Every structure is written in structure tokens, then in C-alpha cells.
Structure 1
Amino acid sequence: MTYRRSAGSPRGDARRRELLDLVTEDLAVNGLVDFSLRRAAKAAGTTHKVLLYHFESAEDLLQRAVAQLRERRIARGLGAAAEAPTLAGRVRALWPVLTSGESWVLDQAIGLAIYDADRHGGLARGGTQQYLPALVSLCPPAWSPERKTEVAAMILATLRGFLIDLRTSGGDPVSVDVGFAALSRALEREEAAG
């Protein structure tokens, strides 16, 4: 059965935001494992039919909630990086934000995308679309847009690798620390090259 969507009305948009906030909070606490429309409805204090009225599907709701968690993470990360004088320093300032709070939920999203790319690949693609502009904004202003994008893509891929390593090694930061030192040196050389 298809439900009428509430898009377009201010009241419908406000209700959709409210429901999304409640589901996002549930994800932040309980993670992505066993996510379902019924669990989301319970967290939002409503029924699955109401959720389907406001969202296209459980997958749509999940992707929007994960995107909202990422937006919070990005805002905290950019705030932490704002005072660092170098690109390497800004990236290093991001790291504690990337590994704290509900970061484990966002790491689960990467795992789901790897496990079932057909069903959950949008979770990883959405992450790239959200993180890349934030990382570009950390690059020196004098760099060309192409160079900023290339360096930001390298940083994103490297940090994702560090996160996976950290989560799969049982939390042992030794290899991540060594890798981070190498990344910092590479970014310092890149920035020194002008």
C-alpha cells in the first residue's frame, strides 16, 4: 500500500523533522543493528503507517537519520578544527570527534554498506557527499578547487581506513597513531608545496 506523502506543507515538514529527530536519537543510542520500521515507530511514539506517510520507506528513513547523525558529527568536527593553523593540525583535531559519541553508529553504516552494497551502499555514498565538502573547507584557501578535492578525497579515504582499523582491532590505537603520523607528514609536505 502506498501512503500519501506529506511533502510540501509546513505542518507536514515540521512533523517529518520531529519524527526524524526522534528516530535519529534512537539510532544514536541503539545503533543500526536490528533497525526496522517498527523499532523506528516505537522510538518516535507513532505507528509504522505514520512513518510511511512521511518517508518513502524504512531505507529512506534510515538514510536520512544517518545523514542527520553525520551532520552533527561534521559540525562538531569543523568546530574542533577551526583553531588549528595547519591542514595537518585541522585533520588531527577532527580525529577525536570522529571516534567519540555516536561515531560507532556511523561506523556501523560503513559496515552495512560493505556487507550489502546493493541495499546499503547509499549509506557510504551519502557519507562521501557529506564529508568531502567539509574536508575541502579545511584546505588552504589559495589551493585550486581540484587540488582541494583531491587532497580531501585522500584524507577521507585514509580516515575511513583508520576508523575501520580502530574498530576491527579491538580499539588498539597503535597502528592508527603510526598511520596518522604518516598522514600528518604527507599533509605538511603538501601544504609546504604551496
Structure 2
Amino acid sequence: MAGELRGHLLSRAVDHIAEHGVGALTLRGLAAGIGTSHRMLIYHFGSKEGLLVEVVREVESRQRAALATLDLDPANSLADTIRAMWHRLADPALWPYERLFFEMYGQAVQGYPGTAGLLEGVVDSWLDLNVELAARWDVPAEVARTHARLGLAVIRGLLLDLLATGDRAGTDAALETFAAGYEAGLPSPTGVRPVADDSTPTTGRAPF
């Protein structure tokens, strides 16, 4: 029962932040907005920071689930796959969550009380997903993981750029350059560039 209530409160908090953002959000204000008390939120999440960390983790989990269901047909180009991922993650509907992500990420790496939980899987969970997806192209796991780390850094960096500047055209162009360069042949971690032709699956590259 307690777990169900916690999940219900978290889901409502996610929806509230999507509609209102975080701005000058207070725990009491959030509690009032989702029909509970600040004491109940403290009981289940420990603090405002603890709740916001769980909101970020929940949204990240939802996005990984959504990306896992993209139409990642190995017959499609890797560049098209990268574009599809970027198109989803750069959706303005996600900006309130992404602002919150970067805010909480910054606090977590500085050891701000109540935020350490965000660092658990903040990179590895995305790398694991990419390795799973890359198997559709018969990409070796060690190659996929290394390239996924690079792709994650590029996409997160461009998302931060987009939030800071609002320059969608510029960030789209940068993503396109990355995607096209990746399609042309990113070297494998061993320094050996995989060779492919139109009749064989591309190997040695992951869908980032």
C-alpha cells in the first residue's frame, strides 16, 4: 500500500512539474498542487531534493522505455536512428524535465544533500539500453558501450545548449553533423574502422 501511494504521488508530481515547471517550486506548493501534504511528501521522499531526484529518475526511465520502442530497423541508416532519438529528446514538451535534470545533476555531482541518488545509473542505464539496441545491428557490446558514451555526451551537451540558447536550428545542425559523421564511419575503440557495403549489416557502430 505504501509503495502504491508513493508511486501515485510521484506520478502526480511528474505531471504537475510538466505543467508548471520548477521555478520557485516549494514542497508545500507542490503538495497543495497534487492534493497532499508536505508532511506526506517528506515521509515518502525525505526532502524536496529527494522528491525532485525521483521525478528526474522517473522521467529518465520513461524516456528510455520510449526510445526502446522506436522503430530501430537495422535496414535504416544509423544517421536516421540518431535523428529520431534527438527529435524525441529535443521535444519542447520535455524541456521542464530536462532543466530539472541538469539542475539536479549539478547538485548531485557537488554532493548536495539528498541528491546523491541521481548519480546511480545516470550514465550506465543509458549505456545499457544502447548496448541492447545495438545488438540489432550485431554490434559487439564493448564497441557499442564506448560509442554510446560518446553519443550520450553529445546529446546531453546539445540539450544543455538548446535549453541555454533556444537555438533549435543550431543544435539541429550540430546533431546532423554528428549523425552524418557517424554514418560515414566512426572508428571502433580499437582504432580499426569497420567496413560495410550495401549488402551486409553495419557492424562496429552503435545507434548513437
Where on the TM-score scale, by shorter chain, does this alignment land: which range? 0.7 to 0.9
Residue 3 of structure 2: aligned partner: 13
1:164 aligns with 2:164: no
Choose 141-150 or 178-187, whichever is displaced more. 178-187
Deviation at 1:106, TM superposition (A): 2.8
Q: Mind listing any 5+ residue stretches in structure 2 that lack a counterpart? A: 195-202, 204-208
TM-score, length-scaled by structure 1? 0.79
Q: Contact conserved, 2:28 with 2:38, CA < 8 A, in 1? A: yes
Question: Are 1:55 and 1:61, in contact at CA under 8 Å, matched by a contact in 2?
Answer: yes
Q: CA deviation at 1:160?
A: 0.9
Shift of 1:115: 5.2
Q: Distance in 1 between matches of 2:23 and 2:95?
A: 11
Aligned to 1:92: 83
Given the alignment of the two structures, is residue 135 of structure 1 paired with residue 130 of structure 2, yes or no?
Answer: yes
Contact 2:99 2:163 in 1 (8 A): no
Assess, with a 3 A threshold, how the Cα gap between structure 1 residues 98 and 123 changes in structure 2: closer, same or farther.
same
Which residue of structure 2 lines up, in the alignment, with residue 118 of structure 1? 111
Matched residues, percent identical?
A: 24
Q: Do 1:81 and 1:93's aligned partners in 2 also have CA atoms closer than 8 Å?
A: no
How much has 1:64 moved relative to structure 2? 0.9
The corresponding residue for 2:197 is: none
CA distance in 2 between partners of 1:187 and 1:122 (Å): 36
**Gapped runs of 5+ residues in structure 1?**
1-10
Match of 1:32 in 2: 22
The residue aligned with 1:52 is: 42
Residue 173 of structure 2, aligned match among 169, 174, 177 = 177
Q: 2:16 is paired with a residue of what secondary structure?
A: helix
Q: Aligned partners of 1:175, 1:46: CA distance in 2, in Å?
A: 40
CA distance in 2, matches of 1:33, 1:98: 21
**Pairing partner for 1:66 from 53, 56, 60:** 56
Corresponding residue for residue 155 of structure 1: 151
CA contact 1:166–1:176 (8 Å) conserved in 2: no
Instruction: Report the Cα distance in structure 2 between the residues aligned to 1:168 and 1:101, rounded to whole angstroms.
Output: 13
- Larger mean CA deviation between 171-180 and 116-125 belongs to 116-125
Q: Distance in 1 between matches of 2:81 and 2:149?
A: 15
Q: How many residues align?
A: 184
Where 2:50 maps in the other structure, the secondary structure is helix
Change (3 A) 1:184 1:135: farther
Q: C-alpha separation between the residues in 2 aligned to 1:25 and 1:57?
A: 19
Q: Who is 1:76 aligned against?
A: 66
Task: State the 1:175 CA deviation.
Answer: 4.7
> Residues 45 and 51 of structure 2 are in contact (CA less than 8 Å); yes or no, is this contact kept in structure 1?
yes
8 Å Cα contact 2:64-2:126 kept in structure 1 = yes
Partners of 1:176 and 1:125 in 2: CA distance: 30
Deviation at residue 23 of structure 1 after TM alignment: 0.8
Q: Which has the higher helix share?
A: 1
